[in-house]
């Protein structure tokens, strides 16, 4: 399968805690992207990490990429109730299509 | 969400109806996409348009017919759909269709086929 595999499928934490989501893939990539989706809405691009980068930060987000293990992680620090959403990793396959993982449903309880 | 808009936001149609979904992007992008998101499944790419030309048709049944009259507008014409076509249909755009671009999504059309 070309799609990304994400774990956990669901994550429930308390406000203020950190949330970590993982993504694994099987193909060679130029970059890996993370998107967020609030329930029943469109996706919002969060961050893009290139294949020659190991770590990238954006506000409370930290993304790592390990191309030798074909895996990436998204860390949200000091989570808020408003972070409750589904989070997807995505990458372009060899045919140039953006392939999405199945997503992690994050629930942050106030 | 004002960058990419989709109408209608909700649509209920019978299997014999013909309807169209509309997407408009105000970002000056050259590539537009249709995705299908079913419950508990990853997003499925349906169609890709680059500079108003279809560059990808991802084995989508002919009951879905896309149209891109210009780089700002994308339509998905629907006819004789099946109940399993019920899903959230998402439109997206990007600067171009290369590997380096993030995609900007509309809010989606929730389609129910009865």
Cβ contacts (< 8 Å) between B45 and chain A: which residues?
97-98
Report chain A's mean pLDDT, rounded to a whole number. 93
CA dist A89 to A60, B42, B53, Å?
A: 17, 10, 27
Q: Is B107 in a helix, a strand, or coil?
A: coil
Contact (Cβ atoms closer than 8 angstroms) between residue B89 and residue B111: yes
Asked if A96 lies within 8 A of B107 by C-beta distance, the reply is: no
Q: What is the pLDDT of residues A59-104, one digit of tens each?
A: 999 999 999 999 999 999 999 999 999 999 999 877 778 889 999 9
Per-residue pLDDT, averaged over B91-99, amounts to 89
DSSP per-residue letters across B18-63: EEEEEEEE-S--SEEEEEEE-TTS--EEEEEEETTEEEEE-S--TT
CA dist B111 to A67, A95, B6, B35, B64, Å?
A: 38, 29, 12, 13, 13
Cβ contacts (< 8 Å) between A101 and chain B: which residues?
42
Quickly count: other Cβ atoms within 10 Å of residue A30's Cβ. Answer: 13
Distance from CA of A13 to the nearest CA of B (A): 21
Distance from CA of B52 to the nearest CA of A (A): 17
Distance from CA of A105 to the nearest CA of B (A): 11
Q: What is the pLDDT of residues B78-90, one digit of tens each?
A: 999 999 999 999 9
Residue B98: pLDDT over 90: no
CA distance A46 to A79: 15
Chains A and B: how many Cβ contacts under 8 Å? 55
């Amino acid at each position: 399968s070309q799609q990304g595999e994400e774990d956990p499928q669901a994550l429930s934490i308390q406000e203020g805690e950190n949330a970590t989501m993982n993504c694994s893939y099987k193909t060679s990539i130029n970059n890996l992207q993370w998107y967020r989706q609030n329930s029943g809405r469109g996706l919002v691009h969060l961050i893009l990490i290139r294949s020659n980068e190991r770590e990238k930060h954006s506000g409370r987000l930290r993304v790592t990429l390990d191309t030798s293990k074909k895996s990436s992680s998204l860390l949200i620090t000091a989570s808020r109730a408003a972070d409750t959403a589904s989070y997807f990793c995505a990458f372009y396959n060899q045919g140039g299509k953006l392939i999405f993982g199945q997503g992690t449903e994050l629930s942050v309880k106030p | 969400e004002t960058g990419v808009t989709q109408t209608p936001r909700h649509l209920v149609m019978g299997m014999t109806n013909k309807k169209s979904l509309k997407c408009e992007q105000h970002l000056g992008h050259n590539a537009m996409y249709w995705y299908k998101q079913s419950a508990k499944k990853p997003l499925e790419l349906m169609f890709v348009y680059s500079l108003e030309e279809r560059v990808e048709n991802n084995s989508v049944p002919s009951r879905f017919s896309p149209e891109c009259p210009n780089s700002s507008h994308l339509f998905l014409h629907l006819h004789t759909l099946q109940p399993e076509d019920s899903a959230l249909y998402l439109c997206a755009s990007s600067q171009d269709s290369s590997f380096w671009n993030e995609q900007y999504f509309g809010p989606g059309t929730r389609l129910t086929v009865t």
